[in-house]
Amino acid sequence: MINHHELDIRLRDLKVELAHATLVAVSKYSPIEDVIEAYKCGQIDFGENRVSELKTKADIFQEKNFSNVRWHFIGVLQTNKVKDLLKTPNLWAIHSVSSKKIVEELIKRESEFTGIELKLFFQFNTSHEAEKTGFETIEELQESIELIRSLKNSKLKLFGLMTMGAIRTDNVLTDAVKCFQKLKIIRALLVKNYNLELKLSMGMSGDYKEALEEGADFVRIGSLIFK
């Protein structure tokens, strides 16, 4: 089990460094005991990349009446997992809405969601690497935005955009910055065309500093906290 004092220091230092950006503590692979310790240190935003693991941890938090926790789904989302994901207690955001097909499934299954509002980040594959999911063109992205905007009295809210830095590169940080800058350009275009306010979810343990410099609003950090 992780040391409470050390964990508290790590979280405090990161939050000071992040300033106004929101820290999503990526708790995948971490035992529930460590996640609870982080919560007791004041961390309320947690990210999971598997629906089953997220549901298990969220159910335990609900049993303990940790009602102000905010769960973020950050992994690859398949249509057959949408229904289960939406049933997750205290699900706050999905950072990996990666296609029109997923958007359509979320709309279809919206009644499964029991919260007040579910924030959606549309994932854009800025590096265009085959290993990643995400929208590949502005046109695809716009189709899904128009779908969400056409809904009446929906709990689904387009909240922001998400991306990850390139992984098939010898210049990880340089190319990560290029990916983050591309996402900023895409946001600017969408803000202009749709008069939207969109947050940026970008940056992980290895490149969060670069993401912050490029204006990240949410960073997803795991190993620097739980390892």
Domains and CATH numbers, the chain: 4-221 (3.20.20.10)
Q: Write down the pLDDT at residue 24.
A: 98
Rounded to whole angstroms, the Cα distance separating 186 from 190 reads 6
Encode pLDDT of 131-145 as tens digits: 999 999 999 999 999
User: How much is the average pLDDT of 111-128?
Assistant: 97
Report residue 29's pLDDT band, with 50, 70 and 90 as the boundaries. confident
Helices (H), the chain: 4-18, 32-40, 51-63, 82-86, 100-108, 138-149, 172-194, 208-213, 223-226
**DSSP string across 122-145:** EEB-TT--TT--SB-SHHHHHHHH
Tell me the per-residue pLDDT of 38-89, one tens digit each, with 9 for 90 and over.
999 999 999 999 999 999 999 999 999 999 999 999 999 999 999 999 999 9
Q: Is residue 1 predicted with pLDDT exceeding 90?
A: no
At 151-184, the pLDDT tens digits run 999 999 999 999 999 989 989 999 999 999 999 9
Give the side-chain half-sphere CA count within 13 A for 50. Answer: 8
**Residue 158 parent element (H or E):** strand 156-162
User: pLDDT: is 170 or 1 the higher one?
Assistant: 170
Q: What is the share, in percent, of the chain residues with pLDDT greater than 70? A: 100
Span 185-205, average pLDDT? 96
Round to whole Å and give the CA distance between 145 and 194. 9
| Residue 227 pLDDT level (bands cut at 50, 70, 90) | confident
